[in-house]
Amino acid sequence: MPQTGTVIDYSTAERVAPFEIKSSFGSNYLVKLVDSVYQQPVLTVFVRGGTTVNIDVPLGNYIVKYAAGDRWYGYEHLFGPETGYSKAGEVFSFAVVGNKISGYTITLYKVRNGNLHTQTIRKEDF
């Protein structure tokens, strides 16, 4: 199983915008950022259950998708037949605002009154 914070880059763009991912115990996650216009993957990051990851990502507008499960079968099969696939219901805009770079923190578990709305997707849409 990859270490928490293992990133695979699909882009050569400089990674400057902060992105924090918090996860609950129980499941592990492979989080994928996808360009919202071209639908191309930008990067993936592995997050073990119960950990928090802080990475930098390129500026841009992204859809956040993630695969979740317990047992890791590798990057081709992810968490095997029990893999759950989801995506956030909004586009995340990592941008320069004034003289600051905007970033996000997401929490991959149920948060009372949380604002990250997700929907289940098919494996083919991951």
What is the span of the domain harbouring residue 28? 7-125
Burial of 12 from C-beta contacts in 10 A (0-12 / 13-18 / 19+): exposed
Domain count, the chain: 1
Quick one: CA dihedral 54, 58, 62, 66, positive or negative? negative
Q: Is residue 1 part of a domain?
A: no
Q: Is residue 66 part of a domain?
A: yes
| Range 99-110 average pLDDT | 90
| 117 Cβ contact list (under 8 Å, min separation 6) | 88, 89, 90
pTM of the model: 0.92
Q: Is residue 112 part of a domain?
A: yes
| Range 14-39 average pLDDT | 96
Q: Is residue 23 part of a domain?
A: yes
Q: Is residue 19 part of a domain?
A: yes
Is residue 8 very low, low, confident or very high in pLDDT (cuts 50, 70, 90)? very high
